[in-house]
A and B are shown apart, each in its own frame.
Chain A
Amino acid sequence: MLRAIYDWVDERLDITPIWRDVADHEVPEHVNPAHHFSAFIYCFGGLTFFVVVIQILSGMFLAMYYVPDIVNAHASVNYLQNEIAMGAIVRGMHHWGASVAIVMLFLHTLRVFFTGSYKHPREFNWVVGMLIFAVMLGLGFTGYLLPWDNKAYFATKVGVEIAASVPVIGPYIAIFLQGGDIVGAQTLARFFALHVFFLPAALLALLGVHFILIRRQGISGPL
């Protein structure tokens, strides 16, 4: 049955080459844990992407209940966490996944660094990876404010102070981030927009470039 549906679609749209291009490629022996157990260090990039997918999915579902408004934000998080079935699980996925994503990303970066994979001709992909790192930290920073509790508020105040310490343009960065003179209603609205629209869009674009480059250039050779 499924086979018949696939064949019916494939005959008209010729989809086999598309997924072949994406999925069907050789994995060199030195990155295959079946050959060398130590090759598991090559999994961290894929694991980072896997966690990012979890973050996007759980985040989409959290947005069904979350309200980015200083009067209601904390109440809505409290409600979705405690009153909704599986609320603690879904929010827990997003909460813990955020930390796991950063940890995996960091391990991936360390692997690339210590295997020298950033060297010629893959310099540009290292730069893209660093941009992804910055966007992920931005996602962490903006997401941290959204529950609008004391920890979120003061962490953001401290973060904005750090941004404000940049010479010359620091105060402008701070006002841009806060959307005003204080961490308040406009800051929460802004961080929400950055967290769910701007930064994920940037992240997906950068990930696309990251993956296209690694497919074009191939995985670097063994040590």
Chain B
Amino acid sequence: MSKKVSRRQFLTYTLGGTAGFLASGLLFPMVRFAVDPMLKKGEAGNFLDVGLKVDEITDTPISVKFVIHRKDGWYEPPKGETMTAWVLKEGNEILALSPVCKHLGCTVSYNTNPQFKNEFFCPCHFGRYTKDGTNVPGTPPAKPLDRYETKIENGKLLIGPLKKA
């Protein structure tokens, strides 16, 4: 068998190559367009003064509301978005816990279920967390509650972005 490329094979490869080139030229911009959010870098969040003095923080979690401004694509809510953190003192450390359940993203609340005193409780699937946000084994969540980064300036609490796990 000769190793020469036959005229027919040459034409097939040429046509195939051209078709492939045209198809990728067509598809590449569209696919890159669709996956752009996955490749965008998130912007670093800044720290916000939530109007809470550090010596008001006790070992009982309190719900602290604060407003963040961020752009959702082209849209920025004019009044910002209200976020919640559960703030408490654990030893010498100040914790600011996210209220988003690590099971499926419902909202947890502290001490709302009389059956489970002094715990965070999620009403969706009965997920529970101890006071420091550790998930109670045997309940749906598999990870502890996320924590916000915190800073103290002039005796006041500043809340930053969520800590990366």
Contacts and interface: CB of A to CB of B under 8 A. Distances in A.
Interface of A: 70-71, 154, 157-158, 160-162, 172, 175-176, 178-182, 184-186, 189
Contacts of B104: 157-158, 161-162
Chain B interface bracket (under 10, 10 to 19, 20 to 34, 35 or more): 10 to 19
B73 A185 contact: yes
Contact of B37 (A70, A71, A161, A186): A186
Interface of B: 34-35, 37-38, 40, 42, 72-75, 103-106
Does more than half of chain B's interface fall in helix, strand or loop, or is it mixed?
Answer: loop
A199 B42 CA distance: 29
B106 A185 contact: no
B98 to A, nearest CB: 13
Does more than half of chain A's interface fall in helix, strand or loop, or is it mixed?
Answer: helix
A138 to B, nearest CB: 15
Contact of A176 (B37, B72, B75): B37
A164 to B, nearest CB: 9
A180 B72 contact: yes
Contacts of B40: 180
Contacts of A175: 37-38
25 contacts: A70-B75, A71-B75, A154-B106, A157-B104, A157-B105, A158-B104, A158-B106, A161-B103, A161-B104, A161-B105, A175-B37, A175-B38, A176-B35, A179-B37, A179-B73, A180-B37, A180-B40, A180-B72, A180-B73, A182-B72, A184-B75, A185-B72, A185-B73, A185-B74, A186-B72
B22 to A, nearest CB: 21
Nearest to A174: B38
Given A180-B37, A185-B73, A185-B75, 20 more contacts: A70-B75, A154-B106, A158-B104, A158-B105, A158-B106, A160-B105, A161-B103, A162-B104, A175-B37, A176-B34, A176-B35, A176-B38, A178-B37, A179-B37, A180-B73, A184-B75, A185-B72, A185-B74, A186-B37, A189-B73
Contacts of A180: 37, 40, 72-73
A186 B70 CA distance: 14
Closest 5 CB pairs of A and B: A184-B72, A186-B73, A185-B75, A161-B105, A158-B104
A184 B73 contact: yes
A186 B72 CA distance: 7
B72 to A, nearest CB: 4
B37 to A, nearest CB: 5
Nearest to A69: B75
